Structure 1
């Protein structure tokens, strides 16, 4: 896969985009638009269900889903950088980072797993953090989400601890100069 960068030069500014090409597919990572709000909620609901089902009670999953569907996402909230991945003509994933180096979200619609969307979002998120002058990044990942943990490990992250919250999460960190 080839990773290229374009658009504006200030991290987190609208118009900034990344393009990842490999084989016959092109994934574009860009700042989300207002009309991405509900499609990205749908992506998050499907992705979250894929890794929490069997670990969290259905009632808890349904409560979270109702809450997020009632509010959606605010892409303009200060202190957060949102990234949206497009493939096949629409949003299929998103990432969310903070200026202090936390990868808060990296969600891909399960129907698009294995197509490079997670990789594209990951690379763009790290580019954002590097653009802020950061040298390390951190994240928490659900301990039962073996797929995500393997993805992060393959992308240079290392386990540095665990949370005490329920459900348990693994804390991971990564040098941004790898």
Structure 2
């Protein structure tokens, strides 16, 4: 697991439990940008979800820290029932104020580095259909539509797959 990786002025490291509120807030702000009418009302507790993700022994939460402030987050693990060489990127967000600054690319590279070290060969994710900016980012990183998981009619997510480069 990555404890700390410095790229330029950006540090990528494992998230700490004390950062849960900051991470949940960044997640909400980033997520708010791709819903045309704002984030749908929900009784889902993202703070608790992030707290659980950070505490999971089988999960990984990385954060990109710039000038002492969390500017990006990524959460991934092997999903239940999936082959051991598969990893799912559950959440990947960059602070909207820092888009197009290279943070997402550096954070994605750190994820790939960890997937390689963990022996992962395939990564999967789902992205909201209205999140065109994220779809473009993932395409630039090498993600493609998942042939094993085509979108179902009425589903609001596209399913993508990434071949983790071998060593």
TM-score of Structure 1 vs Structure 2, range by shorter chain = 0.7 to 0.9
Bigger CA drift: 100-109 or 148-157? 100-109
Mapping of residues 71-86 of structure 1, within 5 Å: 72-74=50-52, 75-86=54-65
1:146 & 1:139 partners in 2: Cα distance?
15
Which residue of structure 2 aligns with residue 5 of structure 1? none
| Maintained 8 Å contact 2:17/2:51 | no
| Maintained 8 Å contact 1:142/1:167 | no
Which residue of structure 2 aligns with residue 31 of structure 1? 14
- Structure 2: 5+ residue stretches without partners: 79-85
TM-score (norm 1): 0.78
The Cα of 1:69 is off from its aligned counterpart by 4.3
2:157 & 2:131 partners in 1: Cα distance?
9
Match of 1:78, SS state, is coil
- What per-residue deviation string (whole Å, max 9, x for no partner) do you get for residues 21-72 of structure 1? 2xxxx11110111221111111001001011233xxx5x63425x7224665
Aligned pair partner of 1:140 in 114, 120, 126: 126
Aligned pair partner of 1:40 in 19, 23, 27: 23
TM-score (norm 2): 0.83
Mapping of residues 58-77 of structure 1, within 5 Å: 58=38, 61-63=40-42, 67-69=45-47, 72-74=50-52, 75-77=54-56
Which residue of structure 2 aligns with residue 51 of structure 1? 34
| Maintained 8 Å contact 1:93/1:106 | yes
- Structure 1: 5+ residue stretches without partners: 1-10
Bigger CA drift: 38-47 or 130-139? 130-139
Which residue of structure 1 aligns with residue 6 of structure 2? 19
The Cα of 1:175 is off from its aligned counterpart by 1.2
- How big is the alpha-carbon RMSD for the aligned residues of Structure 1 and Structure 2? 2.2
- What per-residue deviation string (whole Å, max 9, x for no partner) do you get for residues 112-151 of structure 1? 1111111111111111111111112111111111100000
Moved over 4 A (4+): 69-72
Match of 1:63, SS state, is coil
Match of 1:101, SS state, is strand
1:76 & 1:67 partners in 2: Cα distance?
16
